[in-house]
Amino acid sequence: MLRGATIGMTWWPSTGADVDIDRFLATNQPAWDRLAELAARAGRGLDRLGAAELDELVRLYQRATTHLSYAQTYYRDPALTARLSRLVARAGAVLYGTRPRTLRAAGWFLAVTFPAAVWHARRFVLVSAVLFAVPALALGIWIANSPAAVDALGPAAAREAYVNEEFESYYRSEEATQFATEVFTNNIQVAFLAFAAGVLGCVLTGWLLVANGAALGEVAGLFAAVGQLPRFWGLILPHGLLELTAVFVAGGSGLALGWAWISPGDRPRLAALAEEGRRAVVIVLGLVLVFAVAGTIEGYVTGQPWPTWLRVGIGLLAEAAFVVYVVVLGRRAAARGFSGQIGEQERTGWSPGDGYSRPVALTLR
């Protein structure tokens, strides 16, 4: 019976034109049979395997996940893909079945799925940011430099009360916990609307971004017109940096969903929409945590009588942490073949043990 030596038996196809599926099967079949045997025995209890066999099981499992990835890329053979998927799933269930599933799934979501989804949609996120920023800048600059535009915003007394009292008092109008909860709920609704609007195409999502950008530009222009722009940014930036970034990500998700419907490429339209939908759901779920952080900052930091540099500094730290998190983990996940769809881990056969965490069997010595 073949043992650990079969690990070395493998063959890597060089290009799609050079692949030889028969040779691939013949070369790697012994390793797959050995993995199936070890998984079957371990399925009745990991204590049925010795330390060396546990290590062999882990190595064979990791090799089989790589074989599955190559088979999906080069062979496009449904039968082979399904066979390897079943084998990888059985072995993975044995290796990871002793870990708390909820914690493992949450860790995988935060470390791989969500950042991969955001990274995959990064171009649409950039478009989303531009759709928001252009009207904000245009309207803000116009109002700041046009007395007639300022007068059109409302009576002078109302404008003065808004700039000097109402805008800042809004952040202190309620107890911090209640205020943060209300802000969080509102932001989630905005994000969900931007995502859901994508089903109707990019127009509605784009309009929501433009309208919200114009609203921000209007307020910024009013403050600038009366020489209070630093005060405005001091109240907006602590929570607004992270909050607006999350809005851009939500808008980008909606745009990606709409574009999949408009231009599905070589995929059937419904299949493209379903694929982007699975990724968009991941983004919306992940943004729940991001908006929770932004809402907490808005409730507990923005309205505090602290120095402006301290409040803005907290916002900058939160924004920097999120950007680094998405870029570093998103790029790493993308390099390993993930694009952030729900259930992608199970479909690809990849495991957290492949560079993210260690299988439980590795600790059983």
Domain enclosing residue 17, as ranges: 4-98
Give the torsion sign (CA, 132, 135, 141, 143): negative
CB 233 within 8 A of CB 288: no
Q: What does the pLDDT average to over 285-289? A: 91
Nearest to 286 by CA among 204, 221, 341: 341
Average pLDDT over residues 128-145: 96
If asked whether residues 35 and 77 sit together in one domain, one would say yes
DSSP notation for 304-327: SSS-HHHHHHHHHHHHHHHHHHHH
Q: Of 98, 133, 156, which marks where a domain is finished?
A: 98
Q: What would the two tokens of residue 364 be?
A: 């059983």
Residue 126 has pLDDT above 80, yes or no: yes
Give the whole-number percent of the chain exceeding pLDDT 70: 85
Residue 358 within any structural domain of the chain: no
Residue 173 and residue 34 in one domain: no
Instruction: Note whether residue 167 is domain-resident.
Output: yes
Q: Which of 63, 98, 133 is the last residue of a domain?
A: 98
Among the three residues 98, 132, 167, which one is the final residue of a domain in this structure? 98
pLDDT for the residue 97: 62
State residue 251's pLDDT score.
93
Closest CA to 67 of 47, 88, 40, 43: 88
* Averaged pLDDT, 232-251: 94
Q: How far is CA 276 from the centre of its chain?
A: 12
Lowest mean pLDDT of 17-21, 54-58, 135-139, 326-330, name the range. 17-21
Task: Please give the pLDDT value at position 46.
Answer: 65
User: Can you give the pTM of this predicted structure?
Assistant: 0.69
DSSP state of 357: S
**Same domain, yes or no: 222 and 333:** yes
Angle, helix 21-43 to helix 51-70, in steps of 10 degrees: 140
Determine contact, residues 206/194, Cβ cutoff 8 Å: no
How many domains are contained in the chain?
2
352, part of any domain? no
| pLDDT class of 117 with cuts at 50, 70, 90 | very high
**168/274 same-domain check:** yes
Sequential DSSP letters for 328-342 = HHHHHHHHTT----T
Q: Residue 112: which of 231, 305, 349, 282 has the closest Cα?
A: 282
Length of the chain: 365
- In this predicted structure, what is the pLDDT of residue 152? 92
pLDDT band at residue 15 under the 50/70/90 scheme: very low
pLDDT of res. 352: 42
Q: Is residue 361 part of a domain?
A: no
Looking at residue 359, its pLDDT comes to: 34
For residue 169, give both structure tokens: 């008092």
What DSSP string runs through 128-171? Answer: HHHHHHHHHHHHHHHHHT-HHHHHHTS-HHHHHHIIIIIHHHHT
Same domain, 123 and 82: no
Average pLDDT over residues 137-153: 95
Tell me: pLDDT of 25 over 90.
Answer: no
Q: Are 338 and 344 in contact (CB under 8 A)?
A: yes
Q: Are residues 88 and 128 in the same domain?
A: no
Mean pLDDT across 161-182: 81
User: What does the mean pLDDT of the chain come to?
Assistant: 82
Instruction: Compute the chain's Rg from CA coordinates.
Output: 26
Q: What is the dihedral of CA 55, 61, 66, 70, to 10 degrees?
A: 140
Based on the fold, state whether residues 260 and 290 are members of the same structural domain.
Answer: yes
Q: Give yes or no for residue 10 having a pLDDT over 90.
A: no
**Distance (Å, rounded) from C-alpha 10 to C-alpha 31?**
9
Tell me whether residue 203 is in a domain: yes
